[in-house]
């Protein structure tokens, strides 16, 4: 079956959503013009991890250590972000999800953390995906602080890129000790929360922070569903 194109998503995401009381659907990569229609009837959007983002989308030339990119996915997900923003659809953006949301909304990325932030932490260490490898400081009063229930937490780190210049609509609300952006969110009536680590890999740990993030997303989704009146038995 070599060469067969497949649609894949880590089950950790869908399991975490189910644990939070949600019913997840996995979207295929489609032409960006179809993004808005794909969100019809949805009450939330979760953006998952994955490839580096094509720097052409934010007007930069490719760094020599840029990883593989998936331009069609980038373009579809950018369109999903903008459609979710228009629809005020609760949006939880994880790892690449935060990066693509930032690009969709007009921000830029660090293309290669090891060379562009050489004095910093290793944000992609070897080891288990659920290994908490660095701390993150969260701004008091932020959506992320409320959702996680903490001001400083320890997270896993499996990323090559990060937010550089945040989009105007996004406020950086969490950083690691080396200054790398680890969380950003909106402050208007669009519930959007972006984080650079992988909470879906951490839902079985003794610490409750990551389960709490999915719980908060689940609450936002259910509130939107009730508000839309589209589902009689949520
Ligand atoms: Mn990190």
Q: What confidence tens digit (pLDDT) does each residue in 165-206 have?
A: 999 999 999 999 999 999 999 999 999 999 999 999 999 999
Of 7-11, 120-124, 166-170, 230-234, least confident by mean pLDDT is 230-234
Task: Give CA–CA dist 132/119, Å, rounded.
Answer: 20
Which of the four pLDDT bands, split at 50, 70 and 90, describes residue 133? very high
* Residue 45, helix vs strand vs coil: strand
Query: CA 87 from chain center: how many Å?
Result: 18
* Centroid of ligand 1 to alpha carbon of 55 (angstroms): 20
Specify the pLDDT at position 14: 98
CA angle 27, 73, 160 (to 5 degrees): 115
Residue 232 has pLDDT above 70, yes or no: no
45-54, 104-113, 206-215, 223-232: which has the minimum mean pLDDT?
223-232
**pLDDT tops 80 at residue 2:** no
Residue 181 Cα to ligand 1 midpoint, Å, equals: 8
pLDDT of residue 233: 45
Cα 103 to ligand 1 centre (Å)? 18
Q: Which active-site residues does the annotation give? A: 95, 198, 200
201 CA → ligand 1 middle, Å? 14
Average pLDDT, the chain: 96
């Amino acid at each position: 079956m070599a060469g067969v194109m497949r649609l894949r998503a880590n089950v950790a995401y869908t399991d975490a959503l189910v644990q939070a009381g949600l019913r997840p659907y996995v979207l295929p990569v489609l032409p960006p013009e179809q993004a808005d229609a794909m969100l019809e009837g949805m009450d939330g959007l979760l953006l998952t991890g994955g490839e580096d983002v094509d720097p052409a989308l934010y007007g930069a030339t490719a760094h020599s250590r840029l990883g593989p990119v998936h331009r069609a996915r980038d373009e579809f997900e950018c369109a999903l972000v903008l459609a979710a923003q228009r629809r005020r659809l609760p949006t939880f953006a994880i790892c690449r999800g935060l990066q693509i949301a930032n690009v969709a909304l007009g921000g830029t990325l660090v293309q290669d953390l090891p060379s562009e932030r050489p004095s910093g932490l290793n944000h992609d260490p070897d080891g288990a995906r659920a290994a908490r490898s660095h701390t993150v400081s969260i701004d008091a009063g932020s959506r992320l602080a409320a959702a996680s229930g903490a001001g400083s937490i320890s997270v896993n780190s499996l990323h090559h890129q990060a937010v550089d210049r945040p989009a105007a609509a996004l406020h950086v609300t969490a950083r690691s000790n080396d200054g790398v952006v680890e969380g950003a969110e909106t402050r208007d009536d669009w519930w959007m929360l972006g984080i650079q680590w992988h909470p879906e890999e951490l839902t079985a740990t003794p610490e409750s922070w990551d389960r709490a993030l999915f719980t908060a997303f689940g609450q936002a989704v259910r509130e939107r569903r009730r508000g839309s009146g589209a589902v009689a038995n949520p």
